[in-house]
Structure 1
């Protein structure tokens, strides 16, 4: 049984959730974790005769045609919400959905979590300081070593640093950080994706991977030692390679995954290739967590044009890993 959190209900989360469930046509047992009244309100155009079953525990779910199981937290006042706008109440509720989902997964009541997008601005205005889902999930599961991996049929990427200013990346990267990311990637590819001997490429930080120190020494002095240590541990890892060519080699099938040094280095090629279908996977957690690789998209919320494909792929991947 997969739990899907509604995310920020003022964004496209409810829309992509209901569209994905409709298109999957009962392929997976799903429980929506959120506020039933808000879900019904924002999903009215797509309910099409379906009935919302409000439950207080996954064990009460009924997986029958025409029924949408919503674990109802009853934690939103619709009068305080404006679709397409940043609303602190939606941010607070989104955090509560995540906390509930993690608790249910840790207790074994659901097999994994798929999270609809949250608004960082909304959760900050609600009084929370989390930069995003990943750090909150790590805190809730007492996890110290974790990373953001992004999956598509064409390319897999894992990030060494996440949401940090570009000017700070070079100062943040350490040999231990790169090594940790390589290890997490190798473990996930083996156990989550069933690749017996994954080939991992590591992107350099600087142009041409530093070109022997001509454009910075981080590639030689920080990244290469991490690769060497991981290789001695039996990881099939190579690099550092020039960032402008390594992703092409992975797409051609030479590597199963690329370790990127910073957010946009990894996500620009991924989104260019799979903007509507890429999936975010948090690796290192004791639970399964996937999410669509897009945000709340307030600018199109309520317009009926949100593409559910990334949510569909996130649900499928959570089910695949959970088997």
Structure 2
């Protein structure tokens, strides 16, 4: 690793048929942002250059065929894997783009595993395309876990400024949430938040835990998950030294978070947290793949096929993801 004391991050450009390449180009064209880290962009050079063209920016980079310890300062493009634009169309889902995304992610993770990078940031992916290419997991998280042979706690965290969230269940149907909810899943989501916030420099994170049912069950009148599952999980977290409280009614818990009363919120399912976070700041939201051996971050929005190629995509969320990865390395 170089001796310039800056973190080195891999940057994956996401779905080549979406807004990822132009977002990455806008990020890399911002000298105030990129001065914070050495960057290994992983992309077919044609995809990279097309993103630069769409974004209407200029990026000073070097192309390399492989990464050695001493040749990845500044911005370098590892021009692989190969992608043929003839097999895919911008704004459309394709098996070929899905395979390309998986190959790029695998390359980025491998460089981190080898100690040639400290973390990975990636632009929006397309899950449908990756499933067409053979992804067997609900999303990229399972792919990461398999590639890294990860056996510890893992979960998706979302951040918006100083407010963080985790979730006890993730990409599953609503009818499955109650079945999958457990004391352990809530405790794991709480631990991940506490650990990530402590790593980011917060000594005693204040964590609020949401209920599942309207009015947090209202004493069991609208469901007993709060009594049977959520309250015992919170007690276990407190016994471990985590500053957790709840369960709070889901329809008001984010008012407390927005007001700064809590640093983080544990939600019971995907949309319980994501709707609130995206309403408060869609253009700044970040997703953290927490629990892995190194930071992995991305913007919290999708590949936006409807505006791909127009050069109007907002880079703010990807920039926040990049900055967060830098801070987590340090």
Q: What TM-score, normalized by structure 2, do the two folds share?
A: 0.93
Contact kept, 8 Å, 1:148 with 1:280, in 2: the verdict is yes
Match of 2:117 among 63, 86, 110: 110
Match of 2:285 among 278, 283, 308: 278
**1:55 paired to 2:47:** no
**Whole-Å separation in 2 of the counterparts to 1:72 and 1:313:** 25
Contact kept, 8 Å, 2:209 with 2:267, in 1: the verdict is yes
Distance apart, 1:38 and its partner CA:
1.7
Secondary structure at the aligned position of 1:276 is classed as helix
Distance 1:62 1:241, change over 3 A: closer
Which string of whole-angstrom CA distances, capped at 9 and with x for unpartnered residues, describes residues 100-134 of structure 1? 11111111101110011111111111122232222
Contact kept, 8 Å, 1:58 with 1:110, in 2: the verdict is no
Which string of whole-angstrom CA distances, capped at 9 and with x for unpartnered residues, describes residues 30-83 of structure 1? 1111211221134324464545522123333352xxxx5211114211211211
Contact kept, 8 Å, 2:215 with 2:250, in 1: the verdict is yes
Match of 1:171 among 179, 184, 198: 179
Residues 86-97 of structure 1 mapped to structure 2, 5 A cutoff: 86-97=93-104
In the alignment, which residue of structure 1 is the partner of 2:169?
A: 161
Residues 1-323 of structure 1 mapped to structure 2, 5 A cutoff: 1-25=8-32, 26-27=34-35, 28-46=37-55, 48-59=57-68, 60-63=71-74, 68-144=75-151, 145-191=153-199, 193-323=200-330
Secondary structure at the aligned position of 1:54 is classed as strand
Equivalenced residues, count: 318
Contact kept, 8 Å, 2:183 with 2:230, in 1: the verdict is yes
Q: Which range moved further: 243-252 or 258-267?
A: 243-252
Contact kept, 8 Å, 1:24 with 1:312, in 2: the verdict is no
Which string of whole-angstrom CA distances, capped at 9 and with x for unpartnered residues, describes residues 113-160 of structure 1? 001111111111112223222221122222242111001115211111
Q: What TM-score, normalized by structure 1, do the two folds share?
A: 0.94
The unaligned stretches of length 5 or more in structure 1 are none
Which string of whole-angstrom CA distances, capped at 9 and with x for unpartnered residues, describes residues 147-196 of structure 1? 110011152111111100011101110111111111111111111x1110
Contact kept, 8 Å, 1:11 with 1:301, in 2: the verdict is yes
Distance 1:214 1:24, change over 3 A: farther
**Whole-Å separation in 2 of the counterparts to 1:45 and 1:172:** 43
**Whole-Å separation in 1 of the counterparts to 2:189 and 2:205:** 14
The unaligned stretches of length 5 or more in structure 2 are 1-7
Secondary structure at the aligned position of 2:30 is classed as helix
For the aligned residue pairs, the C-alpha RMSD in angstroms reads 1.5
Contact kept, 8 Å, 2:39 with 2:73, in 1: the verdict is no
**Whole-Å separation in 2 of the counterparts to 1:306 and 1:43:** 13
**Whole-Å separation in 2 of the counterparts to 1:74 and 1:146:** 28
